[in-house]
Amino acid sequence: MSSIQNSVQNMNVQNIAATSQIIGSQTTEQAYTGSGSMDPLRPLPRPIDQLHECLAALGLSEADAVIETCLERASKEAPSYAQFLTELLTSELTARQLRQLRMRLRMARLPYQKTLDQFDFAFQPSIEERQIRELSTLRFVHELSNVIFLGPPGVGKTHLCVGLADLAIRSGFSAYFVTAHELIADLSRALREGKLDRRLRQYVTPKVLVIDEMGYLPLDDRGATLFFQLVTARYERGSILLTSNKGYAEWGSVFGDPVIATAILDRLLHHSTTINIRGESYRLKERRRAGLPSTPERSLENQG
Ligand code: ADP
Ligand code: MG
């Protein structure tokens, strides 16, 4: 600790000790007017400074920032003691919750910020809006169950996952977004470095894990085994939101082995909802609306 910090802390301790002495041996008025038996040379701390010190020492940084405004308003509006304290502590609580929310949003690494309200259900009639509204109650998070979005590219699978993850985060849950490709690459690296268990635990911790684009690239044996380990580790511990352009019947070829594909599906689907989206790519619609030809993207989409 620096000497400045040290002396500041000593000063704080002295002030607090002085305050307790004052309160213990004198009336408050005597203490504030300096008419008691205290060392006359020692400057008396102002109550507001003591208050700032206490709030800072308790880590109530927002209350510390707003206390003077609250006091000023209180002197005009004369709220009850309870109202005053409630106002002060509510501002601390709100600031804290906002800080934690920002932290959870940052840690989730969502690829973009989209909400369910921004989803145009009229454009994608194969999705039952009622079903998405049911998911938005987040019952699936409480029940540790999974949601799997299947469908061709551009139909809104990632958007819906991001919207649900965003809702979960705003409701106080932790979430993490990763593409299947990144996930397997990361777990393979951890395996090579002998840190697989620790890494798996990090993927088990978030209440909602989004695994995007499963099936775009086929997995080798090791990739399939790692994915199986992850699904097993999260089984009945937390929700997985997964997107894939491949129907379940094709998962055998995605994992290169029907046995492991069946074992994965068995755990993944035990408690789950599948949303099958059949329809046109929203990206193509936007291209058309902008007067651009849809051909280049269509050829890309066909690869997906
Ligand atoms: P997918 O994951 O199925 O390939 P995305 O969810 O990434 O598709 O959607 C592609 C883009 O189109 C995103 O910007 C998304 O927000 C938008 N989008 C897709 N479907 C809709 C929709 N029905 N309403 C509004 N935006 C949509
Ligand atoms: Mg996507």
pLDDT tens digits for range 208-264 = 999 999 999 889 999 999 999 999 999 989 999 999 999 999 999 999 999 999 999
Lowest mean pLDDT among 251-255, 269-273, 296-300: 296-300
Query: Which value, in Å, is the radius of gyration of the alpha carbons in the chain?
Result: 29
Query: Which residue has a Cα nearest atom 25 of ligand 1?
Result: 119
Could you name the CATH architecture of 109-303? 3-Layer(aba) Sandwich (3.40)
Q: Closest ligand 1 atom to the C-alpha of 124?
A: 23
Residue 156 in contact with ligand 1 by CB distance below 6 A: yes
Does residue 5 surpass a pLDDT of 80? no
Residue 114 in contact with ligand 1 by CB distance below 6 A: yes
Average pLDDT, rounded, for the chain: 86
Q: What is the pLDDT of residue 39?
A: 73
Q: Closest ligand 1 atom to the C-alpha of 153?
A: 4
Residue 283 in contact with ligand 1 by CB distance below 6 A: yes
d(CA 271, CA 85) in angstroms, rounded, equals: 46
Ligand nearest to the CA of 157: 1
Q: What is the pLDDT of residue 280?
A: 87
Q: Give me the mean pLDDT over the 196-218 stretch.
A: 96
Residue 155 Cα, ligand 1 centroid: separation in angstroms? 5
* Chain centroid, CA 283 distance in Å: 28
Bigger pLDDT: 9 vs 135:
135
Residue 161 Cα, ligand 2 centroid: separation in angstroms? 9
Residue 181 in contact with ligand 1 by CB distance below 6 A: no
Q: What is the pLDDT of residue 302?
A: 39
Lowest mean pLDDT among 154-168, 174-188, 251-265: 251-265
Q: What is the pLDDT of residue 297?
A: 43
Q: Provide CB contacts within 8 A for 127, sequence distance 6+.
A: 121, 156, 160, 275, 277
Look up the pTM and report it: 0.80
Domain ranges, ordered by start, for the chain: 3-104, 109-303
Residue 212 φ/ψ, nearest 5 degrees: -100, 145
Q: What is the pLDDT of residue 37?
A: 54
For 57, 255, 256, the CA distances from 268, given in Å and listed in that order, are 48, 14, 18
Residue 155 in contact with ligand 1 by CB distance below 6 A: yes
294 pLDDT tier (thresholds 50, 70, 90): low
Q: What is the pLDDT of residue 42?
A: 78
